[in-house]
Structure 1
Amino acid sequence: MLHHFDENWRSGANVFARRGEIMLGVWEGETLVGTCGRNVDPYDPYPRAGRVRYLYVAEARRRHGVGQSLIAAIERDAADYFDYLNTNAPDAAFAFYIHLGFRALSEEYATHRLTLTSG
């Protein structure tokens, strides 16, 4: 996961520079323990579709609220730019996303979606 993020960042393919895009990290001292980004969704034709990207939490820090905090931060101002956030999660993360309010999808480009509301 982080290797793919690094390749895309270094090549310029995804540097989270478009309107509404952000990339976050959680650090414990000098150790990166979690990442999560928000992009314009390149797979959804709707212009206000966002996408959760590169959600990663170090194995030793899973089930300690790191992932939940990252999603909360990604969601915080997302409605200013997007109507919903899609993700393409691995099977092992399905329950995590459902717990956070995402609904399951049967789209080929996304497994889950969180509908946003303006605050």
Structure 2
Amino acid sequence: MNNMIVHEVSDLGAVDITELLTESKEEGFRNIHRLVNEYKEGINTFQHVDEALFECRVGHRVIGICGLNRDPYSDGSIGRIRRLYVLKEFRRHGAGRKLVDAVIHMASSHYTKLVLKTDNPKAAEFYKNLGFKENADDELVTHELEL
């Protein structure tokens, strides 16, 4: 799967993520639906200098997405991974890792720590394998990475 390319997305409205939206809904995940709605409503457009939204493509097909936001629960020194989703057929082929690597690379220029919250055991294992530490003491953060 060396033909996977990660790009920063400047306008989500110009990106066809229908396949991500459909599959994530079928799996019972609401995060891509939230991503689209919050973007359309202007709630979260990843437009701050220390924020970004990344897509992973194979050819013209968007196979994954992941965002970086300023953590709303901190003083501005912490970034938060948001809305990671990779199509099932591309999981365990490096797409998620490429997306999170892009987020970590950008976050390291702006933040001292990267955090996230997941209730998905497979996602929890994925982040642990990337070096994130589990955090059991915080209801807003399940995993964190010092940058």
What's 2:28 paired with? none
What's 1:54 paired with? 83
Q: SS at 2:57's partner residue?
A: strand
What's 2:144 paired with? 113
> What is the CA–CA distance in structure 2 between the aligned matches of 1:91 and 1:102, rounded to whole Å?
14
Residues 1:88 and 2:117 are matched in the alignment = yes
Residues 1:41 and 2:62 are matched in the alignment = no
One-letter identity of the residue aligned with 1:16: F
> What is the CA–CA distance in structure 1 between the aligned matches of 2:74 and 2:94, rounded to whole Å?
32
Q: Give the Å deviation of 1:2.
A: 1.4
| Structure 1, 33-42 or 44-53: larger mean CA deviation | 44-53
TM-score, scaled to structure 2:
0.75
> What is the CA–CA distance in structure 2 between the aligned matches of 1:11 and 1:56, rounded to whole Å?
21
Gaps of 5+ in 2: 1-30
What's 1:103 paired with? 133
> What is the CA–CA distance in structure 2 between the aligned matches of 1:5 and 1:50, rounded to whole Å?
17
One-letter identity of the residue aligned with 1:21: E
Report sequence identity in percent.
33
One-letter identity of the residue aligned with 2:112: D
One-letter identity of the residue aligned with 2:124: F
What is the aligned residue count?
Answer: 115
Could you report, residue by residue, the CA deviation over 1:66-94 in whole angstroms, capped at 9, with x for unpaired residues? 00011111111312211111011222211
One-letter identity of the residue aligned with 2:39: W
One-letter identity of the residue aligned with 1:27: R
Gaps of 5+ in 1: none
> What is the CA–CA distance in structure 1 between the aligned matches of 2:94 and 2:46, rounded to whole Å?
24
Q: SS at 1:18's partner residue?
A: coil
The structure whose Rg is larger is 2
